[in-house]
Structure 1
Amino acid sequence: GARRVVAIERDERCLEALAEVSNHYPGRLHVIPGDALKTDFAALAGEAGGPVKIVANLPYNIGTELLIRWLTGAEWPPFYASMTLMFQREVAE
């Protein structure tokens, strides 16, 4: 499994459940309450020590914007090694 997972969650209703999961895996799950659109992903990758793997179930209203930001960043190579993303059908179509 992953050595460390960072979850960015805006929905307050999910934070309690994520905290419970985090308690079962001390030091391996770091939950950041907040908006993914305001997150500095390159800084998070830097804290992790290098390129990271992005695995995300992206919300309908921000999925496209995040993908475009990640693909068109000024830095190359990018802060990520790979991306595995899930979009809602309406976004993919």
Structure 2
Amino acid sequence: MTLSNQTISEVTDLFKALSDPGRLKIIYALSDSEMSVTELAESLDIEQSSLSHQLKILKNVRLVSVRREGRKRLYSLADEHVYTLLTQVISHANEKR
């Protein structure tokens, strides 16, 4: 199988986004349920402005999605692939050597 340059670039950007501990915590928090910025900020003890910046990065690489409910924006994992990727990486990291 050959990877296109575009695919390589997108996968690299995805792993770069996941390599930040704060963004990984956000992804993990969203694996349980969708949350607003306020709920995420409180649960992760992060300032809302910083959180919004991180969510924008995660949204740009299609790891999270957002939907509006009235004035509120609710964030969730973009799809089942993100959850699978997260659980597989966590499982690999927790393997005994």
TM-score range, shorter chain: under 0.3
Higher-helix-fraction structure: 2
- What's the TM-score once normalised by structure 1's chain length? 0.28
